[in-house]
Amino acid sequence: MSVPTITDDALKEKIDTASAWCAAHGVLMGSRRRSEQDSSSTLYYNLYEPAPFALEPSPFPKAAFDKCYELGRPWNSIVHAVAESYETWLRPTLLATASSDEEFTGKLLSLADEVSRQQNHNQRAQRVTLGILRSDYLLQSESSTTDSSAYPLQVELNTIASSFGCLSTKVTKLHQFLCHDLTQQQQQQLIENPAAVNIVDGLAAAFHEYTRQRSSATTSSTEVEYQPVVIMVVQPNEANACDQRDLEFLLFQRHGIKLLRRSLLDIANHAKHSSAFQNKELIVPSSDNGTWAAAAVVYFRAGYTPTDYPSDKEWNGRSKIEHSAAIKCPDVFYHLVGTKKVQQALAANNALRKFCRSDQEYHLVTSSFANLHSLGDDDDGDIVATAIANPHSFVLKPQREGGGNNLYDDAMAKALQEMTRKQRSAYILMQRIQPPTFMATLIKGGRPTVIESVCELGVFGVTLREYNEKGTSDGRVLLDNVGGHILRSKGATTDEGGVAAGYAFLSSPKLI
């Protein structure tokens, strides 16, 4: 890694221009600061600056890019099929993991049990769910440099709080602006990114499905009809608020739909159920003169990590949402499908086949699987020994999202040596993918770093689907889109890949 002293006037001007473009167009992230008025104050604010970004687009093979997009709709369908098989497959798959991770996966599983029991008694408040999914891929290559032979392997599938759809859309436009002097053929390598529009259109589709349900429901003459809104569940003092706020503004601009930001604690303390939808309509205090609003859609941009649940109150807020008639994005079943254990289990013993619609789809999806290994089973001794002996060939992954949770190299080997079998069941082992490298200029805080880099592509899927009722045919598919992408560049020796976690830089693909 090197941090150059900028003597090249053209480079300095390009960095200044790019940083100004980011500021002018809201490609920003906040850094949390304590109020200076009182050093002991619990009040914080965010100071915003351009999000970490790559000065140039990142080379990415067109064939690999097209394949990642081709995998989008199959994953939309698979996630729903697995969620629908909660009692017969999803729950049994996660029991051991929940036992070793009682305070998070265990509580999610208990909440899913409660909602599933409602389904069994035909009391489930909402049978439609919205998925804003993101499947992340690294390139595997036998060559050290990016070429057309590199192929994508799935790193993970995100089913909750899939972020950076808006900022990624803008970084694509930043690179198109910086590269405006390219030939028309070269500019065609900078692919358009519809992530932001497709995400808000998905939220709008769910909103209109809720209002359709409400208008067709039997109501009494005394029933109050509250203004429907989208609720975004957020973390307090969210540093990535600009990416989230852009969705709020774009949702209103394109569809005239209002979005309210609320924490799980806000929901626990202030939300309640109204008489609509058999007393399961979720209503929250609005910001308008003490009025109340109905949660048509609850969109989680928090709730994916144990730190989002510091007390039972936050779990009560999550429960209040899950037991309501609001359309959840995601509901607890989709959330559980995104666990690392499910990723590993789907890749084992042809388990995926039952959730695919055809042999062709099955072979397409499995061709993107890295080698994944279950831990905590009676027969995991051989693979544990292999990983300890070859720590650079594996990644140890817990049931966590948000970046910074995986273990690599000697830290991974040490953890495996010290863990009990039960503790190991909270993790999976994954093949260490070996991506090709390229040189990149990465900008953070206005300072450039020229470094050997790799990139990771995430493809958004947006799907609105209805669960089957027992004894009936398949539920409706109301929306099934592939919704744009995020590309992150990072130093080749950096293991983690999260922008919000501070490891990666927003970029865009230059198709080769």
Between vectors from CA 451 to CA 445 and to CA 456, what angle results, nearest 5°? 85
Cβ atoms within 10 Å of 342's Cβ, excluding its own:
23
What's the CA gap between 173 and 193, in Å, rounded?
Answer: 9
Say which residues have a Cβ less than 8 Å from residue 79's Cβ, sequence separation at least 6. Answer: 131, 133, 157, 159, 334, 337, 338, 463
Cβ atoms within 10 Å of 41's Cβ, excluding its own:
10
Say which residues have a Cβ less than 8 Å from residue 327's Cβ, sequence separation at least 6. Answer: 126, 128, 129, 130, 206, 207, 209, 210, 296, 297, 298, 464
Q: Considering the chain, what is the average pLDDT of its residues?
A: 92
Q: What is the largest CA-CA distance in the chain?
A: 74
Low-confidence ranges of the chain (pLDDT < 50): 1-4, 471
Question: Is the four-CA dihedral 377, 331, 73, 261 of positive or negative sign?
Answer: negative
User: What is the structure's pLDDT at 4?
Assistant: 47
User: What is the structure's pLDDT at 39?
Assistant: 57
End-to-end Cα distance, the chain: 25
Cβ atoms within 10 Å of 469's Cβ, excluding its own:
12
Residues 257/248, Cβ–Cβ less than 8 Å: no
Q: How far is CA 38 from CA 33, 103, 485, 490, in A?
A: 12, 35, 42, 37
Backbone Cα Rg of the chain: 23
In this structure, are strands 327-329 and 259-262 parallel, antiparallel, or unpaired? unpaired
Residues 71/459, Cβ–Cβ less than 8 Å: yes
DSSP 8-state assignment for residue 426: T
Which two three-digit tokens encode residue 464? 């609105």
Residue 43 belongs to what H/E stretch?
none
Say which residues have a Cβ less than 8 Å from residue 438's Cβ, sequence separation at least 6. Answer: 58, 59, 145, 146, 452, 453, 454, 455
Q: How far is CA 386 from CA 349, 391, 406, in A?
A: 20, 8, 18
Residues 317/284, Cβ–Cβ less than 8 Å: no
pTM greater than the 0.85 cutoff: yes
Whose tokens are 């032979």? That residue is 149
Query: Which residue type is seen at 420?
Result: T
Residues 142/96, Cβ–Cβ less than 8 Å: no
* Paired strand residues for 487: 457, 507
User: What is the structure's pLDDT at 156?
Assistant: 95
3-class DSSP state for residue 404? coil
The DSSP-derived string for 350-379 is TGGGGG-SSHHHHHHHHTTPPPEEE-SSTT
User: What is the structure's pLDDT at 475?
Assistant: 85
3-class DSSP state for residue 489? strand
Whose tokens are 């399961």? That residue is 280
297-322 pLDDT, tens digit per residue, is 999 999 999 999 999 999 999 999 99
Measuring CA to CA, which residue among 245, 221, 217, 223 is closest to residue 232? 245
DSSP 8-state assignment for residue 124: -
Cβ atoms within 10 Å of 364's Cβ, excluding its own:
15
User: What is the structure's pLDDT at 405?
Assistant: 85
User: What is the structure's pLDDT at 1?
Assistant: 45
50-104 pLDDT, tens digit per residue, is 999 999 999 999 999 999 999 999 999 999 999 999 999 999 999 999 999 999 9
What's the CA gap between 263 and 267, in Å, rounded?
Answer: 6
Cα 336 to chain center, whole Å? 13
Residues 330/160, Cβ–Cβ less than 8 Å: yes
